Amino acid sequence: MHPAEESVFDTAAYGYAQAAHYPFIVAEKASEPKSVSINPTVSFGKPVLAGTGISPSVIAGRFGARDSVEDLAREYGVTSVVLEDAIRWEMNKGNAA
């Protein structure tokens, strides 16, 4: 194996679940919020509110248009905590990478 490939598959150094899960699937942590889900079998792998299929961008857009979190929670049938996580998710996307 080429030395560069060895560093890619060094799972202990990067916290990857297993090299078999290439490309780079990181093990879940119990402390992470589970409000936003990314699953290739749901909405073609786009982020959604877990168990609903609702896009965080829709929630953030409506929140930006002055809809209250409480009104959105009633309309979509989810808790305000889930909606706040979705709004934070959407607002922090620009900080990734």
CATH code, domain carrying 45? 1.10.10.10
Cα–Cα distance measured from residue 81 to residue 78, given in angstroms and rounded to the nearest whole number:
8
pTM of the shown model: 0.62
pLDDT, position 57: 94
Residue 76 vs residues 5, 62, 80: alpha-carbon distances, Å: 46, 12, 10
Do 64 and 45 share a structural domain? yes
Q: Name the residue type at position 83.
A: L
pLDDT, position 42: 87
- Alpha carbon 8 to chain centroid distance? 23
Q: Which residue has the tokens 């929630």?
A: 59
Do 46 and 12 share a structural domain? no
Do 81 and 37 share a structural domain? yes
- The domain in which residue 56 lies consists of 33-95
Do 78 and 51 share a structural domain? yes
Cα–Cα distance measured from residue 95 to residue 97, given in angstroms and rounded to the nearest whole number:
7
Do 88 and 45 share a structural domain? yes
Do 9 and 46 share a structural domain? no
From first to last of its 97 residues, the chain has per-residue pLDDT tens of: 544 444 444 444 444 444 454 455 556 677 666 888 888 888 888 999 988 889 999 999 999 999 999 999 999 999 999 999 999 988 887 665 5
The number of domains in the chain is: 2
